[in-house]
Amino acid sequence: VMESHERSGLTAKAFYGWLQERAGNRVVVDKSPTYALDLEALHNAEHGFEEPRYIHLIRDPLAMSHSFESYHMDQILPLLENPYSGRTLGELVWTLSHRNILEFAEIVPAERLLRLRFEELVADPRSAMTEVSRFLGVDFEESLVRPYENLESKMVDGLYSESTPMGDTRLLERDHIDPKAAITVTPTAADQVLGKPTRHLVRQLGDGGGQTTEAAGRRRFADAARRRRATGNSRD
């Protein structure tokens, strides 16, 4: 299908129109984190669609940069050759992405933009996905908090049969959302020294400038655990 559209010279905007026609009343979702690296790509989304909605997912920059390095994302992203380590490059990607998103958000009406924190999502997925469902105007379904079930019916494979999933190379190693994913990073003294632009963005995004630590993640995890015990639900 893609090859035929490429040969015909179909534009990206026209292709999305084709997808929407086939989707009918369903919602077309595009999850492409790399768009955040290109402010023009974000503006194209705003101009190419009728009142699109955006979900701005925010993760602690220390945890993100460690994950970036661990998953060797520098080998996947279309980045120019550079002298930076994986961890430093991860921080640079985090900073540029969120800086672009914040600038872009200035032209987007508040009702069409939802900010979601990774730490809160994994600590209390039911509350987070209930909010996402409300924001998108769709009904909440139990499958939203059980993404690892029925993987055989989902598009989680790589380009080839032996490839790992593109979005999360360790996807097949899990069977449920693990709240501890929010607190897997134990910052070292070197880790604590985030660049000034990153620290500034942390404050802009509402973390108060002092939440990029394991302790902050543990507090979120503990709060969510107390809520689950109160409702008698031990695992989501």
Output the six-digit token pair for 174: 């899990």
pLDDT confidence of residue 123: 92
The average pLDDT across 155-180 equals 65
Domains annotated on the chain, with CATH: 1-29 (no CATH), 31-231 (3.40.50.300)
Q: Distance between CA atoms of 201 and 72, rounded to whole angstroms?
A: 24
Retrieve residue 221's tokens.
Answer: 């995890």
Phi then psi dihedrals of residue 68, to 5 deg: -55, -45
Q: How far apart are CA 161 and CA 165, in angstroms?
A: 10
58 forms beta bridges with: 117
Is pLDDT at 82 greater than 60 in this prediction? Answer: yes
Tokens representing 195 are 């660049």
Query: Of 168-177, 185-194, 216-225, which has the strongest mean pLDDT?
Result: 168-177
Local confidence band at 218 (pLDDT 50, 70, 90 cut-offs)? very low
Mean pLDDT of 70-80: 73
Q: Taking 70 as the threshold, does the pLDDT of residue 49 lie above it?
A: yes
pLDDT, one tens digit per residue, over 93-118 is 999 999 999 999 999 999 999 999 99
Give residue for tokens 């790992």: 164
Q: Which of 141, 177, 170 lies closest to 156 in space, CA to CA?
A: 170
pLDDT at 144: 92
Lowest model confidence (mean pLDDT) among 1-5, 42-46, 186-190: 186-190
Please report, rounded to a whole number, the percentage of residues in the chain having pLDDT higher than 90.
47
What pLDDT does 217 receive? 45
pTM of the predicted model as reported, rounded to 2 decimal places: 0.77
Mean pLDDT of the chain: 80
CA–CA distance, 226 with 236 (Å, rounded to integer): 14
What is the rounded CA–CA span in Å between residue 25 and residue 71? 36
**Residue written as token pair 């026609």:** 21
Beta strands per DSSP E along the chain: 54-58, 113-117
Torsion angle, CA of 114/116/121/126, rounded to 10 degrees? -20
Question: Which of 7-16, 62-71, 142-151, 224-233 has the lowest average pLDDT?
Answer: 224-233
Using 50, 70 and 90 to split pLDDT, how confident is the model at 3?
confident
Query: How do residues 193-217 score in pLDDT, each as one tens digit?
Result: 789 999 999 999 985 333 444 444 4
